Structure 1
Amino acid sequence: MVEVDLLDFVDWFKRLAKQALEKHADEPATGEFVRWKHVVIHGFRLEEEHSFRETANRLKYMGDIRDVLELDRSDVPDHTTLNKSSDPMKMWVWRALLHVSTRQHPQSGFAALDSTFFDRGHVSAYYLNRSNQTVETMKVATLTDTESLAVLDVQCHAQWPHDTRSGPQVIRVPVDDLHTVTADNGFQDWHSEYEFYNLCVEPLIH
């Protein structure tokens, strides 16, 4: 039998994925599988920290997990299919999952706004050439609840916009539950402060 906590996780993630994807949940994706199944399988893969090949092999022997995924043993996607389906997923899919999952946590109304850089040096030269990508470093802006530490929103940028431009954009999605946001002075100018107050959010910038 599958461990209850893992089975519960997959069942919970299935409901989460369908809620996040809404009308797009049953749209076909890579390998003729509907989109929600791909999303849940990747969630299962990341939770277990397995490779694509290991994930496909494990699913063949985990009947309880396949039942949640509504898959027969012969329907388990090949590891190459899983690999192909992970990259093309649009950012809106992951952000929709993020926004739905954050509602599972109590929100204090106080959040911290921050930005940082991630090096894409681990991406192979072959992939960069094939995808015609030349960006080596991404700028990422995050909004985190200061009490639950839940990440409320994430924005990734290849063009490195100034913090005063990205800050107001990040807080727009969870603005209904947000009262105060803290940030460093890189996010401060008259335009960004106007945007914060216009969204009824008090900026504590230092």
Structure 2
Amino acid sequence: MQALPKSRVLRFVEQAFHLARRAVARYSSKFSKRRYSGHQHILLLCLKVRKDTTHRTLLDELVEMPRIRKAINLTELSAPSTLCKAFDRLGMDGWRVLLNLSITRLPTIGVVGIGASGIDRSHASKHYTKRTKLTIQQLKVTLLVDTGANAILDLHVTTTRKHDSKIAPSLIERNTGKGAILIGDKGYDDQNIRALAREDGTRPLIKHREFSSLHKAWNARLDADLYGQRSQNESMNSRRKRKYGAFIRSRRWWKQFRELVVGCLTHNIEKSL
């Protein structure tokens, strides 16, 4: 009987498992019971985001996925609470290492766009929140996207209404050497941002706010085709919400930040297949 080809899900699992083995230790502690490895936990957490489901539903579906279990050497299924605790243990630094490794398998071109979007922190219906006069604050997510590979290089998350010009410097400093051109809209019109980008050898392609005829002239001289690639950020935010949900499930703010990083990691792995 002819062997079945690898499905996209199986290739995703193999790729995510390979990245996990490169990034983190097999076990989180020398006192670990060693029933499940950290690599398996990371893979299952990425698979949960990819399927936009819950821990309990994912583990239930894994019962009927023998090829997936074999690919990650999973001989028995854990309880949903085990995955929750594994998510708590792995900090933001570990997820960022995984995100950086996922970029290495993508054909980046160095043209980087920066843009922000909001995401809901609860899945309560608008009708319910309106009737109960409940206010649910959104998270502001700023993505740094390579427009050639449609890869997410980095992200910044905040619970406040922090201005774009105050967020961009930290992203630029954290991603030194990853971009030759930085594209941004008028929200990033700040001389400090331009100076910081040039120090890194990056050409800032940011529109000026038009307070004078000189600003209008500078904007008219921008490369329209190159600047048009900034729309990749809006497309990326829209695609992320459609595929992985327009809201986040975690209740604690630090877990919400991690959940968004896992979503970006999952997107990059999908693009690399």
Aligned pairs for 1:102-181 within 5 A:
102-122=103-123, 136-181=137-182
- Identify if the C-alpha distance between structure 1 residues 160 and 99 changes in structure 2 by more than 3 Å, giving closer, same or farther: farther
If each structure's strand is expressed as a fraction of its own residues, which one has the higher value? 1
Q: 1:45 aligns with which of 44, 48, 54?
A: 48
Conserved in 2, the CA contact under 8 Å of 1:2 and 1:62? no
Deviation sequence 1:105-155 (CA, Å, 0-9, x none): 11111111112222314379xxxxxxxxx9822121111112221111111
State the one-letter code of the partner of 1:4: K
State the one-letter code of the partner of 1:7: L
Conserved in 2, the CA contact under 8 Å of 1:95 and 1:154? no
Q: 1:60 aligns with which of 52, 60, 63?
A: 63
Give the root-mean-square deviation of aligned CA atoms: 3.0
State the one-letter code of the partner of 2:92: M
Of residues 188-197 and 50-59 in structure 1, the stretch that sits farther from structure 2 once superposed is: 50-59
State the one-letter code of the partner of 1:110: V
The unaligned stretches of length 5 or more in structure 2 are 126-134, 208-273
Conserved in 1, the CA contact under 8 Å of 2:111 and 2:182? yes
Of residues 29-38 and 161-170 in structure 1, the stretch that sits farther from structure 2 once superposed is: 29-38
Q: Secondary structure at the match of 1:136?
A: coil
Residue-pair matches, total: 193
State the one-letter code of the partner of 2:137: E
What is the alpha-carbon distance in structure 2 between the residues aligned to residue 160 and residue 19 of structure 1? 36
What is the alpha-carbon distance in structure 2 between the residues aligned to residue 53 and residue 137 of structure 1? 26
Aligned pairs for 1:195-206 within 5 A:
195-206=196-207
Shift of 1:89: 4.4
Q: Report the equivalent of 2:268.
A: none
TM-score by length of 1: 0.78
State the one-letter code of the partner of 2:203: E
Conserved in 2, the CA contact under 8 Å of 1:14 and 1:36? yes
Of residues 38-47 and 79-88 in structure 1, the stretch that sits farther from structure 2 once superposed is: 79-88
What is the alpha-carbon distance in structure 2 between the residues aligned to residue 53 and residue 190 of structure 1? 49
Conserved in 1, the CA contact under 8 Å of 2:122 and 2:136? no
Q: Secondary structure at the match of 1:176?
A: coil
TM-score by length of 2: 0.61
Structure with higher RCO (Cα < 8 A, 6+ apart): 2
Shift of 1:98: 1.9
Conserved in 1, the CA contact under 8 Å of 2:118 and 2:139? yes
Deviation sequence 1:37-93 (CA, Å, 0-9, x none): 211012223333443223212323433322222221xx3101233344446643333
Q: Report the equivalent of 1:130.
A: none
Shift of 1:101: 1.2
Q: Secondary structure at the match of 2:106?
A: coil
Q: 1:15 aligns with which of 14, 18, 21?
A: 18
Conserved in 1, the CA contact under 8 Å of 2:62 and 2:69? yes
Q: Secondary structure at the match of 1:175?
A: coil
The unaligned stretches of length 5 or more in structure 1 are 125-133
Q: Report the equivalent of 1:4.
A: 6
Conserved in 1, the CA contact under 8 Å of 2:112 and 2:144? yes
Q: Report the equivalent of 2:36.
A: 33
Conserved in 2, the CA contact under 8 Å of 1:179 and 1:200? yes
